[in-house]
Amino acid sequence: MDRSILFVHAHPDDETVGTGATMAYYAKAGAHVTLVTCTLGEEGEIHVPALAQLEAAQADQLGGYRLVELERACESLGVGDHRFLGGAGRYRDSGMMGTPANENPRCFWRADLDEASAHLVEIMRETRPQVVVTYDPNGFYGHPDHIQAHRVAMRASELAAAEGFGPAKIYWTAMPLGVLKAGLEAFQDSSDNPFEGVENVEDFPFGTPDEQIAACIDATDLHEAKLGAVRAHASQIPTSSWLYSIAGNFGNEFMGVEYYTLAVGEKGPGEGRHGWERDLFAGL
């Protein structure tokens, strides 16, 4: 059976930052990699001065620009199957809680869950993924669109299972506390410390105990593919970003290694101290 894996993300650039190495890894391995992005990211903060007037409060054209950035990022990652949930522009970026954007009736946060999930089921019916990757119930760090993407991915998987083609495994993106602690220690005396102001790993809005991590995908040999995808999202990720700061110090390891918890399915064979899987298809 051909391997098929589906990634569900909220905005353009989320796929790269959170799962870019994993996507590149499976694309290179010959699996069918499908990326579903739920919004165009219209409410993003613009880091290119020449594009400032594209913001939502002015021309409101940032979403169209980010669509092109996403196409370039997918090209760098080797991912040829990319879809927008319900079609490009169907759901609008919700912004953060308490903002006017979050009150927009078209925003993803206010989408009908079953309607949005039905759009994803259509894609799953076509691609038949054995593995689905999305965020945890808190959307990794609490953004409304990430939380909604989680809800849609989980509901669609339930609906697909009821029809007989649900995924065998569902993973949530994660960051081990041990990795966060190592990063804090490594940068504590650095002049370009991306963790400035953070004293304890508990201060982060995310972080998973190492023993709760189920899988670790090591794609260090593909770190340049992820870095290329990061560069493609220039409107959102400035050269001064912490991503570049960490990449410059840790390079391959930072850009090429990603972690997950297993939400649905049976854990396959693993290795190392915590028995982490090295393949999201392990055991299938």
CATH number of the domain within which 75 lies? 3.40.50.10320
Q: At what angle do helices 62-77 and 14-28 cross, to 10 degrees?
A: 30
**Residue 275: inside a domain, yes or no?**
no
Q: At what angle do helices 223-232 and 242-250 cross, to 10 degrees?
A: 160
Q: Higher-confidence residue: 188 or 259?
A: 259
Which strands, in side-by-side order, build the sheet including 131-134? 81-84, 32-37, 4-9, 131-134, 169-174, 257-264, 215-218
The mean pLDDT value of the chain amounts to 91
User: Which domain range does residue 257 map to?
Assistant: 4-264
CB-based contact 101:93 (threshold 8 Å): yes
**Residue 278: inside a domain, yes or no?**
no
The answer to whether residue 106 scores a pLDDT higher than 90 is yes
Provide mean pLDDT across the span 113-141.
Answer: 97
**Residue 283: inside a domain, yes or no?**
no
**Residue 280: inside a domain, yes or no?**
no
**Residue 149: inside a domain, yes or no?**
yes
- Residue 239 pLDDT grade (very low, low, confident, very high; cuts 50, 70, 90): confident
- Residue 247 pLDDT grade (very low, low, confident, very high; cuts 50, 70, 90): low
Query: What pLDDT, on the 0 to 100 scale, is given for residue 145?
Result: 97
**Residue 17: inside a domain, yes or no?**
yes
Q: b vs e for 261-281, b when ≥16 Cβ sit within 10 Å of the residue's Cβ? A: bbbbbeebebeeeeebbebbb
Neighbours of 188 (CB within 10 A): 12
pLDDT for 64-101, tens place per residue?
A: 999 999 999 999 999 999 999 999 999 999 999 999 99
Query: What pLDDT, on the 0 to 100 scale, is given for residue 248?
Result: 53
Distance of alpha carbon 123 from alpha carbon 121, whole angstroms = 5
**Residue 131: inside a domain, yes or no?**
yes
Query: What pLDDT, on the 0 to 100 scale, is given for residue 246?
Result: 64
What is the three-class DSSP state of 195? coil
pLDDT for 263-277, tens place per residue?
A: 999 999 999 889 999
Kindly report which listed range (82-96, 207-221, 225-239, 247-261) carries the lowest average pLDDT score.
247-261
CB-based contact 133:75 (threshold 8 Å): no
The answer to whether residue 107 scores a pLDDT higher than 70 is yes
**Residue 192: inside a domain, yes or no?**
yes
Distance of alpha carbon 31 from alpha carbon 108, whole angstroms = 29
Distance of alpha carbon 43 from alpha carbon 11, whole angstroms = 10
The answer to whether residue 114 scores a pLDDT higher than 70 is yes
pLDDT for 157-211, tens place per residue?
A: 999 999 999 999 999 999 998 888 877 776 665 555 555 566 676 767 788 999 9
Question: Could you give the number of structural domains in the chain?
Answer: 1
**What does pTM read for this prediction?**
0.94
Query: What pLDDT, on the 0 to 100 scale, is given for residue 264?
Result: 98
Q: Higher-confidence residue: 34 or 239?
A: 34
